[in-house]
Structure 1
């Protein structure tokens, strides 16, 4: 019997783990997204418990009195990460005066004298407090995390975007009552205070909706998408008020009240300690960009800014490539995507377009009496004007066709996916056009800014694929990327390892019910940590006991598996201690843990 092909090795190891645990793959289908083809498509603090004791009682009289020991407005408490947990949580810590925020909420609510309750909710890029006053008013305060982008700009842009959409469409967005982009005020942080959205969150009511209701709801949502997608913009970037404190060179006028300014998205700024930026090889390029060519330069410059000095990264993955490899590839990539941007199909698909950055069910409110009526769309943080094709492959979670563990399609989700496709095709031509073009025309644009994160081999493979299919794609002239050098071919040989790493991350995330970055809800943390250790132990056992491998196999021993493992292993079988197979697997393993993670189906 021949050994398995390397591209299928990870899946076989995952299946082995499931068999060892005696657990079906229940719950996993709900976590898997649709993956496009192509190399890169595999890749899209606390205060002490008694902090309330010194607060003014008139202001926060009964805030979560039964949960004082657990309510912490400063630290991130909604989940933890299997990779870089301490850094991730630290990056979401906000130091501010919670009492002053409560007082400001009371001042904005006529007739209120105190806060009767406060609920904290957290996303990846902001913290939300839902206040209830003693006279029954519900008010929402939103505080941005610094890793979302420069807080001053993200706050300015979100408020301007809301005001612009309210002035130019019928999209229902809660009214902004107060906002501040200055962290030096008494509250001590940037914030937006808004009315609470009417209705109920779509995710709460979706499971009980009939198929016909879901389709009508999807049509209503796409009608709202159509309104904002139809608005024309003169440049790419983020929206700001015309009075925003920006240099004149950083503004493209939209009308007398609004302008396009610097893109405030995290990919263009040094705001994330987990993915730092370096500017020794390029200057910051955050826009705005008046044409597609300038936008392409912004993408490439964002990719170059991620490349560290050579001395900063000695323990690189084999498929990572050196800083000089990345600089060379991005130089080639700049020439290629700027040449591609001359193609009329790509130009037509790149019309500047503003859309909501995250159309999932938690951000959409509907009428409780009639869930086909949209009553609110929230969380416009980081909304930006992008080429239409940038949004074309975004599929909301209410429109995903979800496979079950046996490869079959869930009929209800399939129906919703088809309904969404049909509505977009007929109602939103800015998105429909790019969706029906060969997606190979856009992959280089979508991934060039993240080559350091994905590895040089991934982007090199995309360049090779594009070059080889240049003529069949109908692109003008000849591809600026020439035949790879011998050194580049050496890098390309690590492509199988890259694919194995991406497949492993995808499958582990599904089995453990985490995001691709390893986020786990707090209540599932201990169980997921046990399941994670169990999976690694079982996969390592499979690697060590498999004698039927060939020379092309990317995972041949423990060091190979550790290298591509996507989550932290520092406390699991330390590399410095070489264990024999019998020793490594003699201890009992918590086999119930993996089964628990697979059946919970946490929504993240």
Structure 2
């Protein structure tokens, strides 16, 4: 089989592409581990043969481009007849094996049958990592048009408003669908083992939630202490109406016409889509509706204000299920947003929300008495100290990420990794000097010595001398 320049297959790298290793960035924290869990050992030759076999008349693959996201590796193939296909392979931590791929395929086909949202056609897929490719995969047609983020800087304010309106007119079709419970979509014929399911018309069913927060997907959570409930879950309240929505609605996942960027040609990446309480999506503001200034201190532009207002109006009138919870007291939802993160954030943040909910119980309009009693003064003082430390850690991570131009988990592009490591150390030494020079810290100061600073520092540091 010919590939690129006709060279033999089977090499570790093909025409400059390493199909197995993660090469798109490095991490300032746990770099070896982060790259290791993103390695995929599979048969790249077989994947190429799979793709080539999907197009009658194509004789060889002319080009292949590798892209990597947070949860997947993507290969964009161009064949000799100019056909294009996208193959996506999930990392092991993208979600529960089999279920994540099976649910995404079912969700896409469900939406293609029940809405007019433009989603590329699935050409081939497998949720069995023991297949001949050696990995779960989905092969799709390449979406037409260009990514919205490429066009956005050159669009007029009116074009941006029309584009936002077009996006939400499409997504209205999704949010208007009624579901009987929360969970993830599957084909009714999917082998879901002992998981409970609820039938949905058209050959689909609601089954276990495939979101990573419900599974031990390689990050060492607490699930060994008990059997988690994977759903599906019954509806509990009108404000929590079961709603399906896109899990990552941002400019990179939206494609528009190259000639007219107000025309939506595709919305991609429906991985981990699920039916959630409506409030779950209420605070997820997409990047096309937020300030685009390069500096946090810069004032929002006229276009920024226009886009924010357009987003608010579109959600209010086109997707009211998403807008309604935003008008309610957020205290009703805080516990649900933070309780599942205790494995990562610790118990302090969740305890704080319990305390605040208990204080506001009557103002929230909740009946009976709060089942969580307020702590006594001594415990309350201890909690405040721990919470100030938690806040200091979160603020430090945010500030460092901005200063180092990294993601919150320490990801940086490979060309900036060495410089970011050096700057990370310089910043630590500078802060440590300031801590040591503060001979009389306030009683409520959470960082009082080198040990405290090291404990909350979010990125890797050398051992203490």
Q: Tell me if both proteins adopt one fold, taking TM over 0.5 as the criterion.
A: yes
Of the two structures, which has the highest relative contact order with CA contacts closer than 8 Å and spacing of 6 or more? 1
Match of 1:253 in 2: 199
Partner residue, 1:376: 266
Q: Does 1:289 align with 2:289?
A: no
Task: Give the 3-state SS of the residue equivalent to 2:98 in structure 1.
Answer: helix
Residues 1:412 and 2:303 are matched in the alignment:
yes
Alignment TM-score, normalising by the size of structure 1: 0.73
Deviations 1:304-348 (A, max 9, x none): xxxxxxxxxxxxxxxxxxxxxxxxxxxxxxxxxxxxxxxxxxx22
- Equivalent residue for 1:596? none
- Residue 423 of structure 1 is matched in structure 2 by 314
Q: Distance in 1 between matches of 2:93 and 2:249?
A: 21
Alignment partner, residue 600 of structure 1? none
CA distance in 2, matches of 1:91, 1:410: 40
1:267-346 alignment, distance < 5 Å: 267-272=213-218, 275-292=219-236
Distance 1:401 1:96 in 2: 41
Mapping 1:173-212, distance limit 5 Å: 173-212=119-158
4+ residue runs of structure 1 moved beyond 6 angstroms? 62-65
Task: State the match for 1:105 in structure 2.
Answer: 51
Task: Select the residue among 404, 408, 418 that pairs with 1:526.
Answer: 418
Contact 2:2 2:59 survives alignment (8 Å):
no
Indicate whether 1:239 and 2:175 are aligned. no
Which consecutive unaligned segments of at least 5 residues does structure 2 have? none
Q: Structure 2 matches for 1:400-549, cutoff 5 A?
A: 400-401=290-291, 404-406=295-297, 408-485=299-376, 486-487=378-379, 490-547=382-439, 549=441
- Paired position in structure 2 for 1:357: 247
Looking at structure 2, the residues matched to 58 and 282 of structure 1 have their Cα atoms a distance apart, in angstroms, of 50
Match of 2:76 in 1: 130
Question: Structure 1 residues 145, 364: CA separation in 2 closer, same or farther (over 3 Å shift)?
Answer: same
SS at match of 1:250: coil
Structure 2 partner of 1:52: none
* Contact 1:155–1:190 under 8 Å retained in 2: yes
Cα separation, partners in 2 of 1:548 and 1:414, compared to 1, 3 Å = farther
1:550-598 per-residue CA deviation (whole Å, 9 max, x = no partner) reads 22211122211111111111x3xx31x1xxxxxxxxxxxxxxxxxxxxx
The 1-side partners of 2:25 and 2:189 are apart by 38
Q: Deviations over 1:192-228 (max 9, x none)?
A: 1000001000011111011110111011111122110
Mapped partners of 1:256, 1:433: distance in 2:
30
| d(CA) in 2 for partners of 1:217, 1:500 | 39
- In structure 2, distance between residues paired with 1:417 and 1:512: 28
Query: Which residue of structure 2 lines up, in the alignment, with residue 80 of structure 1?
Result: 26
1:32-111 equivalences under 5 Å are 57=2, 61=6, 68=14, 70-111=16-57
CA deviation after TM superposition for structure 1 residue 291, in Å? 2.7
CA distance in 2, matches of 1:438, 1:115: 55
Structure 2 CA distance for aligned equivalents of residues 185 and 229 of structure 1:
36
Q: Which residue of 1 aligns with 2:60?
A: 114
Deviations along 1:34-67, whole A, 9 cap, x unmatched? xxxxxxxxxxxxxxxxxxxxxx5469836999x8
CA contact (8 A) 1:63 1:115 kept: no
Q: How many residues align?
A: 461
Cross-structure match for 2:95: 149
Secondary structure at the aligned position of 2:288 is classed as coil
Q: Does 1:158 align with 2:104?
A: yes
Q: Distance in 1 between matches of 2:457 and 2:292?
A: 26
Kept in 1, the 8 Å contact 2:385–2:444? The answer is no
1:339-368 deviation per Cα after TM superposition (whole angstroms, max 9, x unaligned): xxxxxxxx2220100111001111000000
Paired with 2:423 and 2:309, the residues of 1 have a C-alpha distance of 36
Q: CA deviation at 1:249?
A: 4.9
Find the aligned partners of 1:402 and 1:371 in 2 and give their Cα distance.
18
Q: Kindly indicate whether the alpha-carbon contact (under 8 Å) linking 1:457 and 1:492 is maintained by their aligned counterparts in 2.
A: no
- Equivalent in the alignment of 1:326: none
Alpha-carbon distance in 2 for matches of 1:402, 1:143: 31
- CA distance in 1 between counterparts of 2:340 and 2:426 reads 35
